[in-house]
Structures are given as C-alpha cells and as structure tokens.
Structure 1
C-alpha cells in the first residue's frame, strides 16, 4: 500500500472515530513531536494562532525533540483533520500523535 493510501486510510479511520466519540463542536487535543528547533515549534504555533488555542511545549530529556500539545475547540472532525494536514504539509520532520 502506498504512503498516500495509508495516510488517507488513517484520516478516514480518525474521522469515523471522531464522529462516534464526540459531540461537535468539541474540545480537541493535538499532540505533535518535532526536532527541538525554535523555528519548527513556531511554525506549528503559527498554524493555530488566533483560534483560542492553549499551547504547551515540553522538551525531551536530552533536548533533541519537543512535544507540542494544543488544546482548542474545533467545529467538526473535518476541521480537526484539515489542521493535521496543514501541520504535516507545513512543518518538516513533525510527528503527529
């Protein structure tokens, strides 16, 4: 299976789970891991600017990676998935959890 098909299958599964487990609009917690580079962390933060997001970061023990947690209210599962795609497309080396 190609990476594009795996990615689309992941988003389809996530969409189904989001519809089944929450009433929308709903609070959603995004978690990302990026190399500890201030510009990469800023790129993620900028994608969530002016949305009322609560953003917290935590550096790994060795300082190699930084965890970025973002909590905010999203309108629909589609909006949640669109933000995941924006981050994946806009920030090199990011891992979405």
Structure 2
C-alpha cells in the first residue's frame, strides 16, 4: 500500500511543532515528454521550483521549496508524484 510507504515521513513531519513549514520536494525524472509538466502540475503553485538536467540530458532533477500547512499536504503531493512512472522520490 502506497500510504504505508510514507508512514515514516508523515510521522517525522508530525513531530515538527512549527507549521506552516518550508519544505523541499525533490524528484528525479526521466527527460521524457510530459514528465516534468506532470510533476509541475502537482507541486504547489506558490513554491519556488528549479530544474537541473544531468550531464547526459537523460534525467531532470526537480526541486520545489514551498511553505506547507501540514504533514498531510506534503505526503499527499509526494504520493501523487510517486505514481508517475519512472520518477524517483528523494
């Protein structure tokens, strides 16, 4: 079950006493048509998103720093991106 995969992340985030929290999402995706756009559509619009290609241009690193209101928001976004084929969640 996907939710169990992020149980530890949720637990660690819930230990944080200060919300909202600035959180950094980081993903690596194959440099294939539409993959980066799929990730961008899931990430918070108010986040600061950056992209870096690997030297051989086969993959793209996507980083987004955003102010998040809860652990549930963070886990929900991470789970959605994790469903995109070929994406690695860091």
Q: TM-score, normalised by structure 2?
A: 0.88
Instruction: List structure 1 runs of 4+ shifted beyond 2 angstroms.
Output: 7-10
Tell me, yes or no, if structure 1 residue 33 matches structure 2 residue 28.
Answer: yes
Q: CA deviation at 1:81?
A: 0.2
| Structure with more helix by fraction | 1
Match of residue 46, structure 1, among 35, 41, 44 = 41
Q: CA deviation at 1:37?
A: 1.9
Q: State the alpha-carbon separation in 1 of the partners of residues 10 and 68 from structure 2.
A: 13
Q: State the alpha-carbon separation in 1 of the partners of residues 13 and 58 from structure 2.
A: 32
Give the equivalent residue in structure 1 for 2:78: 84
* Cα root mean square deviation, aligned: 1.6
Uncovered stretches (5+) of structure 2, i.e. residues with no partner: none
Q: State the alpha-carbon separation in 2 of the partners of residues 58 and 52 from structure 1.
A: 20
What is the aligned length?
A: 90
Q: TM-score, normalised by structure 1?
A: 0.82
Q: State the alpha-carbon separation in 2 of the partners of residues 30 and 22 from structure 1.
A: 19
Give the equivalent residue in structure 2 for 1:13: 8
Uncovered stretches (5+) of structure 1, i.e. residues with no partner: none
Q: CA deviation at 1:20?
A: 2.0
Q: CA deviation at 1:42?
A: 0.8
